Structure 1
Amino acid sequence: MRTIRYLAGVVVAVIIEFTSFASIAEQKVIILGDDGYAPFSFIKNNQPQGIYVNILKEVFKKLEGYDVSFQMLPWKRSLNEIKRGTGFAVFPPYHFPKERPYMAPYSEPILLEQVIAICHNKVLKNERKKWPEDYYGLKIGTNDGFLSPGPDFFSAAEQGRLSLIEATNTRSGLRMLLARRTDCYVNAEMSIRWGLLRLRQAGLYDPGLDQLRFGAVIDAEWGYIGYTNTDNGAFPFKDDFIKKVNKIIRAMKADGSINQIIEDFFEY
């Protein structure tokens, strides 16, 4: 009987030790995401959705030693968390080291996005290829905290050469454009196309009546995971995490996994 009790005690001790080891080995990590940047990252039915979400889910499946979850927030709030050092990382910022000195390093680039202006047909009656000079005098919408229109654009807005109207997300930005509160709207081309498709399905956009078309191609930007550099050592696992994640992203780009995830997303 003593032998049985002893063995039972050993088994319990081993289970406790194994559970303790597993909890130590699996570092819990929260990654912040933009909740209003469809089709790249957004919330639907209280769940993270989007192309970047699907890519990063696959990345984190392959990541050993970490239990990663998403917290989707408005973009500006996510950036504030990174700036304060209370947020570990955020997706999908573009690479703006001067404008966001609190964010470094950036991950391996994940996805190339083309940034473009979409305007009412009448606005583009005269050719407007030069950005932002050809758009002076217009009301231009873009998402709050979205820096891709460029420093010349924001400088022109401060000088009153054009009017900047910020939206909380792509849907609201396009709704303002359709309501003629803005003349043009600037965002990633894929995000604009996705947003217009959803508005059309909801009966809120009629291509024949609204007559929108694309104007200036402003830039092409890679999307990344951006990490805080103001945490004062609060995330001691950061270097190891970044190294492992970058290796996985590189492998997924090389073997075509990321392109396949994008194709699967639009088929779905």
Structure 2
Amino acid sequence: MYFIMRTLVFITLLVFSFWSVAEPTKVTFYADDSYPPYSYIENGKAKGVYADIIEAISADLPDYEIELVAANWEVGKAKVESGEILGLVGAYFHAHDWPYMYPYSYPLNQETVVTVCGENTFNKETREWPVEYKGLLVGNVAGYDGWLGGEVRTEENTSYANFLEVPSAELALKMVVKDRIDCTLFEKSVFHWTFKNLRDSKQFSTTTDETPHITSIITGETVHIGYSVKALKENKFPFADDLLKKLDIKLHQMRRAGTLKEIQMQYGIE
């Protein structure tokens, strides 16, 4: 009887151990739902370059099941600030002006911030930002302060351009082609993707609309997963130290192997 009891206990421990190993830890990140080709929502699911990167990493980390939720960018920032989620995918480095987000992951990508203007505002020659935009109405997408390295409405910027905050990149571009605003701040690949979609969906007319084009390259910014200061401080995710290190290692390996570039090229990003 003693031998049978020991055997049953041993089998129970084996089953419990197997179950513990087989059940991955679930973690949720957020990303922008209207920032194609990098992140967007389609049929209720997160899609785009950053979704594919997170999916590839999750598939290679058996201890974790990472879910990426596409939502309004401001909602994602608020959830990081409150500590409700561990991280926000697609963030520029903001340690200097977003006190609620730190640390940051190894870079996923580098984005290029540009100005896009209608042909009646500027011809296709390169313009100097911001001095050659004096008196113009320039759109900026809500929540994307990082496109100018910090606050959009600095004394220097507002001494030249007038700014209008708009809810999404697509709307900002539509306002340029319909001559509602002179120019808008944009990310280079997002501009090309968005303008192509406008043409393909026949929302752009070559006879009545202004043709938008890039007039200034403002800066290049690395893109990260930005983590919640509050969540880490309160130890809401006890596995965070292990996961953050593994994410950095995988991102580093993917960059060295060319995998990050391959994912971008699938979306037409050179």
Structure 2 partner of 1:77: 75
1:63 partner SS: coil
Q: Determine which of 88, 93, 96 is the counterpart of 1:90.
A: 88
Letter aligned with residue 222 of structure 1: T
Count of aligned residue pairs for this structure pair: 263
1:9 Cα deviation from its structure 2 partner: 6.8
Name the CA shift for 1:152/1:131 in 2 (closer, same or farther; >3 Å).
farther
1:130 Cα deviation from its structure 2 partner: 2.3
1:90 partner SS: strand
Structure 2 partner of 1:184: 183
1:29 Cα deviation from its structure 2 partner: 0.3
TM-score, normalised relative to structure 2: 0.87
* CA deviation string 1:85-128 (max 9, x = no partner): 11210110111211112111100011111110110112214966
1:99 partner SS: coil
Q: Determine which of 245, 248, 251 is the counterpart of 2:247.
A: 245
Contact kept, 8 Å, 1:36 with 1:168, in 2: the verdict is no
1:153 Cα deviation from its structure 2 partner: 4.3
Structure 2 unaligned regions, length at least 5 = none
Contact kept, 8 Å, 1:88 with 1:235, in 2: the verdict is yes
Aligned: 1:195 with 2:197: no
Structure 2 partner of 1:149: 148
Structure 1 partner of 2:20: 21
Name the CA shift for 1:106/1:151 in 2 (closer, same or farther; >3 Å).
closer
2:241 partner SS: helix
TM-score, normalised relative to structure 1: 0.88
Once residues 127 and 21 of structure 1 are traced to their aligned partners in structure 2, the CA distance between those partners, rounded to angstroms, is 61
Structure 1 partner of 2:228: 228
Contact kept, 8 Å, 1:119 with 1:214, in 2: the verdict is yes
Once residues 158 and 189 of structure 1 are traced to their aligned partners in structure 2, the CA distance between those partners, rounded to angstroms, is 20
Structure 2 partner of 1:256: 258
Structure 2 partner of 1:214: 214
Letter aligned with residue 137 of structure 2: K
1:180 Cα deviation from its structure 2 partner: 1.8
Q: For 1:34-113, what aligned pairs fall within 5 Å after superposition?
A: 34-113=32-111
Structure 1 unaligned regions, length at least 5 = none
Letter aligned with residue 206 of structure 1: S
Name the CA shift for 1:59/1:207 in 2 (closer, same or farther; >3 Å).
farther
Name the CA shift for 1:204/1:244 in 2 (closer, same or farther; >3 Å).
same
List 4+ stretches of structure 1 deviating above 6 A.
8-12
